[in-house]
Structure 1
Amino acid sequence: MHGTIDPAEETRQDAAKGLAYSTPLEQFNPGDPELFRTDSFWPYFDRLRKEAPVHYCKESMFGPYWSVTKYNDIMDIETNHAVFSSASSLGGITIRDVAPDLRRESFIAMDQPRHSAQRKTVAPMFTPTHLDQLAINIRKRSAECLDNLPKNDVFDWVDQVSVELTTQMLAVLFDFPWEDRRKLTRWSDIATTIPGPAGLVPTEEARQIELLECAAYFSELWKERIAQPPKHDLLSMMAHSEATRDMDPKNFLGNLILLIVGGNDTTRNTLSGSIYALNKNPDQYRKLRENPELIDSFVPEVIRWQTPLAHMRRTALEDIEFRGKQIKKGDKVVMWYVSGNRDEEVIDRPYEFIIDRARPRTHISFGFGIHRCVGLRLAELQLKIIWEEILKRFGKIELVDEPKRVYSSFVKGYETLPVRIAG
């Protein structure tokens, strides 16, 4: 599964495989966040792709849901907007339903035509010309961050690099008060956590209190933007666009959370995943150090290998037969990107981490169709520049221990990743 596996890890993975293949398919619940926290979900999806690529889970902590696990089947769901809806009013885009009174629209959780109108508002942030300008800022901040890392001491890569650099970028995109930028990280984590003992907040009520603080903070910034001439930051773009300037409070907070999570979780977890992947595959790390020009194919390969968001969800608008299964109107349909990115029928040697793949962009980590990630080029640019700067400075960044993973079947990420920069 990975290039270098310690014996304890191998034993754990063998146990996970044994359990996955001895459990009856009708009892499968691949969305169990505990499987993701322990990184033991892989054999469940391997079996589903082979034996039940469209699978119904009757009961789970998220209620009943369908799983779609093969790459091309996911593509078909992604592009059939007439039948499979993203609308927040039906539950939105994650396996976890949101109570009707707490649902907040964002453009990713909207159907056409409103989706495109709101999405177009922020699209100018990600044009090639503007990305060229952002690149200068990314390189400067990456260099400062990397130059301040301790040598020969163990530190948490997630906190000191992945979180810090992505949060700095978010603060730039929003023109957000610099000294408060870690609030963006907190709000992103709060928005996606599962309340309870394993989550960041004990209850849904506690989550809502923090999200309303986010809304209040941004409302003040919004008032400032409206009073100022248009500027080139995401908040100003929305404040001065016809499609978004009159959003109701729930739509406003929904779009904020979307942009914060989209700009934070994906890049952050792929940056952490890149260190993990290279340490598990030392031959590829050596190849990258000896051939830095391979960064261009290394970046999309990391994004595929990591798959920072494990799934997206749709809701069926009508009864439909799909791959021989009867999906009913109102059913929840979960597209498992993390499984599609390991589909042997589409991707050659999908479990191998190969930084010079011939077609590294054959992956579904950013989604597909109208809901494809609006900031994907920026995510790739950040990773590319950060790794250019890493390779200039450090021979090797060593993984000291296994990471602590996020308790979530939506965000596939790392809470901690202990590393040491070899002197």
Structure 2
Amino acid sequence: MSTSTPTDVDLAQIDLFDMQWHRDGPPHDLFARMRAEAPVRWNPLADGTGCWSVTRHADVSAISRDTATYSSYRAGIFLHPDQVVGLDLTRNLLLYMDPPQHTKYRMILQKAFTPHTVAALEDDIRARVTTTLDRIATDGSADFVNDIAIPIPLGVLTELMGVPEEDIAQFFHWTEEIEAAQRAPEPNAAAEVFVQMAGYLHGQIERQVSEGIEDSLVMKLRAAEVEGEKLTDPEILVFFGLLAFAGNDTTRNTLATGMHTLLQHPDQLQELVADPSLIPGAVEEILRYTSVVQWFNRTATTDTELGGQRIKEGDRVVMWYTSASRDEEVFDDPQTFDIHRAKPDHKAFGGGGRHFCLGAGLARAELRIALEEITRRLRNLELSGEIERLPSHWANGLVKMPVTFTPEA
């Protein structure tokens, strides 16, 4: 294990995907040095290949908006094209599409996440949060990750999809398997999971048709058309997988790391307890400060230049969102957590452009409502033991966070 620190190592030799840099969370000191000295830097990888690591806010934005030069479709969004499942299947996923295909499919899904639709879910989200807190509020202690951060977004998602309550445990298992596949040394690690999900989806369609359910996301996908054509079974399956994973995992990690951050800043947590109107702003600062999806890959479709570096056609280009969200050129005192910060142009939902997170509105609503209810009911909330971090360079998340609070009478 290396004992080097960010200030004394040769940047040209650093592999940002080496877990030594992520054991205590994102390597923010290292990112700060890279933004200053090598914002577009060739990153050597353990397999002898390499990729470009991009750490500045402006460059991440430029890549995100230039889909003609930086493709999601060509080799996928991870470093290995078949990292989770085969590229031939994941190319049906919105995250992997380039225009004009991306534009057509996004139009289908965005109807399910309009501001009006999200606003209509407010009562259901609050009911889910309330039910979750009811289970632990009289205990005086909990594991914040497993007892609160996991069941809230997972329950909201399954309800949105029309999935029975008793199947939530199965959904959790699938999302864990998909996340683990992103970290697996061998590609195509989630192939069996997608086979299981395909069988489940087929059964759900039959059940929801027979019961006359029309407004679930599953049925909306089944009824959707792209230029007069219905979605194919693989297309529906991959959208289903995206919703099961992206609609749950990211919100769960943001809620957990966000509360951990607030517990490290108890004065600001108490401000939210005293004045809930501060919570929407706090959500934006949590998103900026934690940026739980650390990176995505693009592939250069032509020779180009970025940040003074010549990038060749076929080169992999990795955008480090967590670094861009703390860029000194954009944010005053970026390493400081401040719930009063003016609405930040963070990159927690991507770098902007066509791939801006479709579920951003829903995620914001879930986080806001969860914090409103948690700060109202779990008084004197404190850490009661060591946290356990998710062993990942891609997701900034927690596995365990024991807390105590004043039990409800």
What is the TM-score of this pair, normalised by structure 1?
Answer: 0.88
User: Counterpart of 1:56?
Assistant: 42
Structural mapping, 1:7-406, within 5 Å: 19-39=5-25, 41-60=27-46, 63-87=49-73, 90-98=74-82, 102-103=86-87, 104-105=90-91, 106-151=93-138, 153-194=140-181, 207-224=190-207, 231-243=214-226, 246-360=230-344, 362-367=345-350, 368-406=352-390
Find the residue that maps to 1:334 and give its secondary structure. Answer: strand
Q: AA paired with 1:268?
A: R
For 2:374 and 2:247, how far apart are their aligned partners in 1? 21
Per-residue deviation, 1:248? 4.4
Q: AA paired with 1:242?
A: E
Output one character per residue of 1:6-60: Cα deviation in whole Å (capped at 9) or x when no partner: xxxxxxxxx97x5222221111111224533432622221111111000111323
1:259 and 1:311, CA in 2 relative to 1: closer, same or farther beyond 3 A? same
Q: Which deviates further from its counterpart, 400-409 or 186-195? A: 186-195
Per-residue deviation, 1:140? 1.1
For 2:205 and 2:23, how far apart are their aligned partners in 1? 37
Q: Which deviates further from its counterpart, 20-29 or 328-337? A: 20-29
Quick one: percent identity of the two aligned structures? 31
Per-residue deviation, 1:326? 1.0
Contact 1:155 1:418 in 2 (8 A): yes
Find the residue that maps to 2:305 and give its secondary structure. Answer: strand
User: Counterpart of 1:6?
Assistant: none
Per-residue deviation, 1:99? 6.2
For 1:308 and 1:174, how far apart are their aligned partners in 2? 24
Q: Which deviates further from its counterpart, 401-410 or 148-157? A: 148-157
Contact 1:226 1:240 in 2 (8 A): no
Per-residue deviation, 1:192? 2.5
Find the residue that maps to 1:209 and give its secondary structure. Answer: helix
User: Counterpart of 1:420?
Assistant: 404
Q: Number of aligned pairs?
A: 401
1:205 and 1:102, CA in 2 relative to 1: closer, same or farther beyond 3 A? closer
For 1:23 and 1:111, how far apart are their aligned partners in 2? 37
Per-residue deviation, 1:128? 2.4
Find the residue that maps to 1:75 and give its secondary structure. Answer: helix
Q: AA paired with 2:278?
A: L
Output one character per residue of 1:210-250: Cα deviation in whole Å (capped at 9) or x when no partner: 23112221122234456776722211111001129744454
Contact 2:221 2:236 in 1 (8 A): no
1:62 and 1:150, CA in 2 relative to 1: closer, same or farther beyond 3 A? farther
Q: Which deviates further from its counterpart, 66-75 or 52-61? A: 52-61
For 1:61 and 1:42, how far apart are their aligned partners in 2? 25
1:40 and 1:404, CA in 2 relative to 1: closer, same or farther beyond 3 A? same
Contact 2:285 2:338 in 1 (8 A): yes
Find the residue that maps to 1:308 and give its secondary structure. Answer: coil
Contact 1:36 1:406 in 2 (8 A): no
Find the residue that maps to 2:341 and give its secondary structure. Answer: coil
For 1:97 and 1:284, how far apart are their aligned partners in 2? 42
For 2:406 and 2:164, how far apart are their aligned partners in 1? 35
For 2:148 and 2:252, how far apart are their aligned partners in 1? 9
Contact 1:125 1:233 in 2 (8 A): no
For 1:101 and 1:278, how far apart are their aligned partners in 2? 36
Find the residue that maps to 1:22 and give its secondary structure. Answer: coil
Q: AA paired with 2:285?
A: E
For 1:114 and 1:164, how far apart are their aligned partners in 2? 34
Contact 1:194 1:408 in 2 (8 A): no
Contact 1:288 1:295 in 2 (8 A): yes
Find the residue that maps to 2:297 and give its secondary structure. Answer: strand
1:137 and 1:100, CA in 2 relative to 1: closer, same or farther beyond 3 A? closer
Per-residue deviation, 1:125? 1.7
Output one character per residue of 1:333-363: Cα deviation in whole Å (capped at 9) or x when no partner: 1110000011111011111111111223x21
Output one character per residue of 1:278-306: Cα deviation in whole Å (capped at 9) or x when no partner: 11111211222222210120111111111
Contact 1:151 1:421 in 2 (8 A): no
For 2:150 and 2:334, how far apart are their aligned partners in 1? 28
What is the TM-score of this pair, normalised by structure 2?
Answer: 0.91
Q: AA paired with 2:379?
A: G
Ranges in structure 2 where 5+ consecutive residues have no aligned partner: none
Q: Which deviates further from its counterpart, 411-420 or 186-195? A: 186-195
Per-residue deviation, 1:371? 0.7
Q: Which deviates further from its counterpart, 139-148 or 328-337? A: 139-148
Per-residue deviation, 1:204? 5.0
